[in-house]
Structure 1
Amino acid sequence: MSPPLVLPRRILAIWLARLSVDRWRLALAPEERAAAEATPTALIAETAHGPRIADANDAGRAAGARAGMLLADARALCPQLAAVPADPAGDLAALEKLALWAQRWGPWSAMDPPDGVLVDVTGVSHLFGGEERLLADVARAFAARGLAVRSALAPTAGAAWALAHHGPPGAILAPDTAPLDALADLPVAALRLDDDVLTVLRRLGIKRLGQLAGVSGAGEDDPCAEAAARDALARRFRNRRSPAANPLLRLDQLLGKVPEPLLPVIAQVMPMVQRRLMEPLRHRDLLDQVVADLAHDMVRSLEARGEGARRLELALWRVDGEVLLRRIELAAATREASHMLRLFAARLDDVEAGFGIEAVQLRASWSEPLPLSQADLDAAAEQHGTSLAACIDRLGVRLGPQAVTRPVMRASHIPERAQSWQRPLDPLPPGQGSPAPGTRPIKLLDRAEPIAVLYASPDGYPQRFRWRGAVREVVRVEGPERIAPEWWRERSSVRLRDYYRIEDAAGGRYWIYRQGIAGDGRGGVPDWFLHGIFP
């Protein structure tokens, strides 16, 4: 019996070098793209030290904007630099969809955040006419979607990533080629190492993969000499446990000596039901009947999966080709068809059927596990409107999905950060504690407003101050409550605050603070602000 045929492994690495910028450009209207591309623009992310550039378009890069720069520094080089918010969460979601879409070239794919996709194309290149044509098909398919990519083929994920990022366009590393000979001239950054590790290697004079391979003894014929060389280099990185901080591990993964685990992306099948109508619908009562049939079909589909819907999308195909989309989000997973119908009834009032609707589709784009429950009790609660989730859903449909929230405590002693808002039925974060009753005002201003102190006592609190055009005499004071800045998330120049609870002659009670102390070396004269009002 002949041994089974073992094909050499082939990994396709796809690098979307401009994913963030491409998504921003494609989100614009077609007539706006040319003007936007000609305008220097940077995608920014908020950090503790101010807005920082995440990426920039070609005009912005030509003007000097670079990833990692502070926006203020970039605008010093180019005052006309426009700034738009970056969307890292959207980029990651788009990358996941692209990883699923890339399975047209191989049986499985994996994400390589933040801007890469890996595809196993072992034994499939002949379906495209060879590996060169496979890479050409990749470039053509992404170009049709308006995305700029670089791709490469190699026996390992590390080698494919290195060639895609630092090799020539469309590079192919044949299975019978020695990786060290082909990749020796690539920079050590091709090993996917952290920035601090790259800095250490450069200080050691190691700038190329060939130099690192020589120092580590890779490729040596004498095992003892290789072990001694690796031990000398390993001692310098002995505390580095992450693969991105261990150059020896990354080099072994690139050469295929150590396996590199990859997490494949698996498509989640969304429950979907639809109706293709024999005749176009133009009347609301007929549309309601079709939606009711779809809702009951969706309930049966969800029940078979043991799930409940959290987000439902209703698509209506008109005869003229336009697709009308109505989406609802639910506070809790549900399989109640009557509840779905009530929510959609309010979203279908503005539907313009035109010449008629010829197809209707209902999809649960977000579902969660939902065990079976006693139908009698739940139905009674739903019928009488006593279900909290049903009440929240109705308010959300009427007022908007962001209008119904509840406050939750957060782990921060800075007043404006100690509370945030979340969905009504989402689980609460772990208990963070709360200030003593009466020490914090019930009404906190959205932003602390500056006050003009006309006279301050030697104890440090104002005897008289002006706020919103009126002068107020202070008759009672309690405090101070000192709140230091959060050094782990703010600049070192941020000043501490001294809070006072004061009462004026008219009986108004306020929460004010002095920002900084005279002579603290972090600014000039301290400023005063009013932050909250007591009832």
Structure 2
Amino acid sequence: MNRIIVSLWFPTFAIDRWSRITAQQGEEDDLRQPIVLVSDTAHGPVIDAVSRMAMSAGAQSGMRLADARMLAPELVAIPFDHEGNQRTLGKLALATQRWGPWSMVDGYDGILLDSSGSAHLFGGDGPMLTRIETFFLRQGYQCRIACAPNSGAAWALSHYAENRSAIAMPDDLPEALAPLPVAALRLNSETRLLLARLGLKTVGDLMEVPRESLVRRFRNRRSAEANPLVRLDQVLGRKHEPLVPLIEHPPFGAERRLAEPILHLEPLQHIVGDITHDLMRILEQAKHGVRRLSLRLWRVDGEDMYRTLELASPSRDPDHIIRLFAQRLNDVEAGFGIDQIRLTAIWTEPLDGAQDRLDKPDTSGTALPVLIDRLVTRLGRDRVAQFVPRSSHWPERSQRVAAPGETSAAVQYDLGFNQRPLKLLARAEPISVIYATPEGLPRRFRWRGGLHVIVKAEGPERIAPEWWRQRANARLRDYYRIEDEAGRRYWIYRNGLIGDGRGGPPDWYLHGFFA
């Protein structure tokens, strides 16, 4: 059996994806504007993809946005979604596996599919390529497609062949590849320029050169992109090119198919509890915990219903999940009965089991993640928020409000005795401070009409301005932990230093309270 590799190239993939998303959102007016997708670089925004209207106006991929707007001031710039494009391309690659055993993403705008032994199921190579192209056209993606005995030849034909659906068999490879430019060999720009200076413009010209001459001229070039002889051997099938297939990892799930449809809430909750225990056992074997669950219910009349659940932290506690789902099933309309139930762990994270200690003390109360899950289930996700750390030394910028369950990769600073107070004022309040020397410890301070005598003081903790976020005249802060004669503990700071050249004398502020 001959090996057949199908190469799919989407020349306008980024624009097609943006247009598809825009049409789904009902914003058809944006499709009538000259759109360019741009990425930020050190030299300013650069165009990565252009729509047809923008191309007609003179914009091209690779141009700086400022230069393109000199030609067409009406251009509308939209950020290029690199991660979204790659995720979509991966999903499309998995979708092509209906025509072959495996597939993979090829660069930023292509897919490679191994259809060996599958073409006869679709009427041959030609009808199969037509079905694949039609499938993507219906999805809104322009596609060029070709098949050949190896990935290099299939890539070359899909990108440079005159026929949109080129087919090449092993005996036809030299003839099919000969008229293609040397760029079809996936060489770098330096090698292509060298071959052009030597008068070698097509793959056929390169095949006519004696092999000894190519070996002698390019023997010091190790990489395939810089050595045309290696690329030529790959497209002609003389040298193997390794490929890494894209393997889909199906989500963990559990399911029940019922012989008799159920109509009431009590048996439904019982079955949901059973499949929850089944799913948790599967996750325990995989050493994973679930963060997001989807419960799908099928009725006898063909209608289906969804209930989703998102947890604040990875969990394998079936009782906790069952309690949360119990509040989501009260409004289920069974109709003529529910005969199939499936529970799927859409989002999981690694979670190793922890062994309990023999001397573990008894604990009471509710854990914070469990409390968050119950609040979200009862009140709604948009009514619950939490604080997550943010990378900043400045206290008022060290946290931000986030959705429940969201994690932050912010750096946690271990400042030793410089602990932050549990309560911060929304805005630091000015105070009057008496101190022994301008740079010394504070002795007394007046706040809200009351005089406080300081008996203990610790500090300072100096925090410099963040020059990348603040103005150049921002002043540093010296924070002190103090305690007055009544035992109350405060967090105060001196804003600025004498003679720092950034304002007058320093002033003092009260910023927080310690428990």
Calculate the TM-score normalised by the size of structure 1: 0.67
Report matched runs for 1:123-522 at 5 Å. 123-167=117-161, 168-177=163-172, 179-214=173-208, 217=209, 220=210, 226-235=211-220, 238=221, 240-241=222-223, 243-274=224-255, 291-315=272-296, 321=303, 323-324=305-306, 326-332=308-314, 334-341=315-322, 348=328, 358=338, 360-374=341-355, 384-386=365-367, 390=370, 404-408=387-391, 438-441=462-465, 447-448=469-470, 476-478=498-500, 502=502, 504-505=504-505, 507=507
Q: What displacement does 1:380 show?
A: 8.6
Q: Give the 3 Å change call, closer, same or farther, for CA 162–211 of structure 1 in structure 2.
A: same
- State the distance in 1 between where 2:189 and 2:103 align: 27
Q: What displacement does 1:22 show?
A: 2.0
Match for 1:118 among 100, 103, 112? 112
Q: Give the 3 Å change call, closer, same or farther, for CA 450–343 of structure 1 in structure 2.
A: farther
- 1:27 partner SS: helix
Q: Give the 3 Å change call, closer, same or farther, for CA 380–87 of structure 1 in structure 2.
A: farther
Is the contact made by 1:37 and 1:58 (CA closer than 8 Å) also made in structure 2?
Answer: no
Is the contact made by 1:396 and 1:402 (CA closer than 8 Å) also made in structure 2?
Answer: no
Q: Give the 3 Å change call, closer, same or farther, for CA 129–83 of structure 1 in structure 2.
A: same
Is the contact made by 2:387 and 2:400 (CA closer than 8 Å) also made in structure 1?
Answer: no
Render the CA deviation track for 1:321-356: whole Å, top value 9, x for unaligned.
575453525434x2112333466578x499786979
- State the distance in 1 between where 2:104 and 2:362 align: 45
Equivalent AA in structure 1 for residue 136 of structure 2: F
Which sections of structure 1, spanning at least 5 residues, go unmatched?
1-6, 221-225, 411-417, 453-472, 479-499, 510-532
Is the contact made by 1:395 and 1:404 (CA closer than 8 Å) also made in structure 2?
Answer: no
Q: Give the 3 Å change call, closer, same or farther, for CA 91–428 of structure 1 in structure 2.
A: same
- Compute the RMSD of aligned alpha carbons: 4.5
- State the distance in 2 between where 1:392 and 1:163 align: 56
Is the contact made by 1:409 and 1:432 (CA closer than 8 Å) also made in structure 2?
Answer: no
Which sections of structure 2, spanning at least 5 residues, go unmatched?
416-459, 475-494
How many pairs does the alignment contain? 437
- State the distance in 2 between where 1:307 and 1:432 align: 30
Q: What displacement does 1:100 show?
A: 1.6
Equivalent AA in structure 1 for residue 504 of structure 2: D
Render the CA deviation track for 1:144-187: whole Å, top value 9, x for unaligned.
3222211101111000001001112100112211x333212212
- State the distance in 1 between where 2:283 and 2:359 align: 17
Instruction: Name the counterpart of 2:30.
Output: 36
Render the CA deviation track for 1:113-148: whole Å, top value 9, x for unaligned.
212111112222222211111111111222232222
Q: What displacement does 1:71 show?
A: 2.1
- 1:55 partner SS: strand
Is the contact made by 2:389 and 2:399 (CA closer than 8 Å) also made in structure 1?
Answer: no
Report matched runs for 1:58-73 at 5 Å. 58-73=52-67
- State the distance in 2 between where 1:115 and 1:320 align: 38
Match for 2:91 among 88, 97, 102? 97
Equivalent AA in structure 1 for residue 181 of structure 2: P
Q: Give the 3 Å change call, closer, same or farther, for CA 251–381 of structure 1 in structure 2.
A: farther
Instruction: Name the counterpart of 2:444.
Output: none
Render the CA deviation track for 1:418-461: whole Å, top value 9, x for unaligned.
9999987678889999xx962524xx599545889xxxxxxxxx
Q: Give the 3 Å change call, closer, same or farther, for CA 79–370 of structure 1 in structure 2.
A: same
Instruction: Name the counterpart of 2:440.
Output: none
Q: Give the 3 Å change call, closer, same or farther, for CA 475–306 of structure 1 in structure 2.
A: closer
Calculate the TM-score normalised by the size of structure 2: 0.70
Is the contact made by 2:312 and 2:406 (CA closer than 8 Å) also made in structure 1?
Answer: no
Render the CA deviation track for 1:280-338: whole Å, top value 9, x for unaligned.
8797x887666544432321222343432243334466879575453525434x21123
| The structure with more radius of gyration | 2
Equivalent AA in structure 2 for residue 229 of structure 1: L
Is the contact made by 2:312 and 2:373 (CA closer than 8 Å) also made in structure 1?
Answer: yes
Q: What displacement does 1:190 show?
A: 1.2
Q: Give the 3 Å change call, closer, same or farther, for CA 419–73 of structure 1 in structure 2.
A: farther
Q: What displacement does 1:262 show?
A: 0.4
Match for 1:78 among 72, 75, 87? 72
